[in-house]
Chain A
Amino acid sequence: MNIHEYQAKELLRKFNVPVLYGKAVFTPEDAGGVAYSEFEQRGAKVIVVKSQIHAGGRGKGYVQDSKGNNIELFGKELRGVTVVKADEYGNIAHKAYLLAKNTLGNKLVTIQTGDAGKIVHRMFIEEGASIEKEYYCSILLDRSNSQNLIMVSTEGGVEIEKVAEETPEKIIKVHVDPAVGMQGYIARELAFGLGLSGAAFKSFVDFIQKLYNAYEQMDCSMLEVNPMVCTTDEKFIALDAKVNFDDNALYRHPDYAALADIDEEDPLEHEAGKYNLNYIKLDGNVGCMVNGAGLAMATMDIIQLAGGSPANFLDVGGGANVERIANAFRIMTSDPNVRAVLINIFGGIVRCDRVANGILQALQKVDVTVPLIVRLEGTNSAEARDILKKSGLNFLLAKSLDDAANAVTKALAA
């Protein structure tokens, strides 16, 4: 599960991780009002107005209108993040209003969103900071040794993947053994690695221990602060924050549900979520319904080998109940790109004849107009094929995975 920067910072503040003062806004009027009452009136000379989307690269991304043209404001192209000072274009509050007016409802295209971009629905206004130097910091699970890994670098504010490729020696990595936990020596090792001394050293050691505590307490699978900055008065602050929660641990944090942003989700995926269907929308033309995550991915691969492209990932799990199958059909086929549907069920513990009956009953509830390719293998598969044949409905029945692939090719050619 992903959340916005402003939400991440609110959570970090609860764990005493230093962040700047800021406020989320949802309308241009809101932006102007907050910029005035919370910042300008209190003497702020600089604020930062940041678009909130679930993707990185915002500062270098462009805001575009519905035709895909970059929007210009204050004499230059409008980016996802803008530092605002009073000048000939107006005072801080007025400029914040104009920024929000030109950004909200438009799409922001960054290196991570692709050309499609993401519509901006929320913005975050934050006080400015006097920055001495930008650093990189992240905590995540290192799967190769099953421990959490802390990574820091003097190369902050840039793409860390690039640093890892070009100058890997500039990334300092330290693992945390859960039996030992986060200790002062770990923090010091990182601080020395960054070449820190004096007050900055002390501030970082404190910062990183608080950040690790937040990572653990919040059940994150990743926590990235890029940039983490050292101010001119030698204090470390999380200037940005990207948080991924471990989905398996969400049951321990019922409050996170309120942080979900429906605007960031695909509408069909959101709908599927209501029925506990494990569905991911893709942009291909063949829908698929499979039991088991591995077989579902393999089925997507087969669709591609057959000359199609998968329209979705869908793991219906072990149960073959009619409601589930009917909902899956409805969601899959409401994607207008879908030209054929492949059902691939391997009946291990579940019986194929039950699945076949489930499919027939589901088809009475949902109207499916595209070709249906069905492959039921495993327990009682022969009986299942009989049931489908006798139904009088027009199924393309496949026995092996190869048959299924050929049937997909045929259906797409028709």
Chain B
Amino acid sequence: MSVLCNKKTKLIVQGITGSEGTFHTSQMLAYGTNVVGGVTPGKGGTMYGCKGEDTFTKQVPVFNSVADAVTKTGANATCIFVPASMAADAILEAINAGVELIVCITEGIPVKDMTVVWSALSRSNSRLIGPNCPGLLTPGECKIGIMPGFIAAPGNVGIVSRSGTLTYEACQQLTDVGLGQSTCIGIGGDPIIGTRFTDAIKLFNEDPDTHAIIMIGEIGGTAEEEAAEFVKQHVKKPVIGFIAGRTAPPGRRMGHAGAIISGGKGTAAAKVEAMKAAGIHVVDSPAHMGVTVAKALGVKTAPPKKDTVKPAPAKPTTAKAAPAKPVKKAPAKKK
């Protein structure tokens, strides 16, 4: 009951020995993700499992190249924590090695580099998630990236979002009304991304275990409008939408490189209008995403909880790892 990643996913981590790579690999392993190895050029042939306070649940082999890692481990997915100046190269290497699923967390990759990546990607069979994204989470099965595992619970709502923290917000609200998620997809906040709303919604639409979809957009570009058109034509499942940045002034980059209204394009108003015309339930307040999904699915909402300390996500019977332990470190992404 998921898209893109599940228990069977065999993941490698590019940049595994860096501080971000180490910390988040430890988190992914703790969540139960099947991390089969890592890539750091020059450190191939070693086993790796800790740095400072971060210790892996098991040591994993390090390889010099993605191709090497794929041949020796049978990996079908990679997660990239390489600094921005080298990240495009890392994505291209993964495409060249034929990795099916590439998740790039790195923020701040130059646009020029990404046009080249896009060109190579469109000629390949690889799928790219991101860059500048929190990654993927199929609750109870597999986490690729930096999403905090504890906020999610297995269920039937798919989430696709350009923003990390708003994804967490949506997860929390769903859990509060007693709904779980099939998969959470953070597509990223850059102008050029590998997987757009339409692609993600298409996946959710084809997944029998996804019963409703939340799409969280923001100002800039026209990807939300394109997705709305797709929803109008093809999607029968309820879609709940929110667009962040109604109050954003034109011409200013609101944090994300892609969140900018320019030449009168990319306004929240235009996106909301297109989404409403497609039958998407657009909420005015981001506080109402969860309850609106419940209403659309005809689910009675659970009474709001008094305490916010979340219960652990329901463990699938085969899961070997507990949800993430309290963490010791801030997730400051590489700038």
Contact = CB atoms under 8 A, between A and B. Distances in A.
Nearest to B220: A143
A161 interface: yes
Nearest to A250: B110
A381 B165 contact: no
B255 A313 contact: yes
A304 B285 CA distance: 10
B309 A317 contact: no
Contact of B332 (A221, A252, A317, A351): A317
- Per CB-CB distance, the 8 closest pairs between chain A and chain B, nearest first, are A294-B163, A293-B255, A292-B165, A401-B287, A349-B331, A249-B110, A348-B148, A295-B165
A294 B161 contact: yes
12 contacts: A143-B191, A147-B118, A179-B116, A219-B112, A246-B110, A248-B111, A293-B259, A304-B247, A349-B327, A350-B327, A350-B330, A379-B327
Interface residues of A, number: 66
B244 interface: yes
B81 interface: no
A301 B244 contact: yes
Nearest to A385: B308
A305 interface: yes
Contacts of A195: none
B164 A146 contact: no
B285 A301 contact: yes
Nearest to B112: A219
A296 interface: yes
A350 B166 CA distance: 15
B130 to A, nearest CB: 14
Please classify how large the interface on chain B is, using the bins under 10, 10 to 19, 20 to 34, 35 or more.
35 or more
B169 A346 contact: yes
B330 A320 contact: yes
B177 to A, nearest CB: 12
Given A248-B84, A301-B247, A348-B151, A382 B307 contact: yes
B84 to A, nearest CB: 7
Contacts of A282: 247, 249
Given A294-B163, A297-B254, A350-B327, 15 more contacts: A247-B257, A280-B249, A293-B259, A294-B189, A298-B163, A305-B284, A317-B332, A318-B333, A349-B27, A349-B327, A354-B330, A377-B308, A378-B148, A379-B150, A405-B287
Contacts of B115: 141, 146-148, 178
Contacts of A303: 247
A346 B110 contact: no
A402 interface: yes
A309 interface: yes
A293 B244 CA distance: 9
Given A302-B285, A402-B285, A249 B111 contact: yes
Interface string B225-263: 010000000000000001011111100111111110001
Nearest to B122: A146
Interface in B79-117: 84-85, 108-112, 114-116
Interface in B184-238: 189, 191-192, 216, 218-223, 226
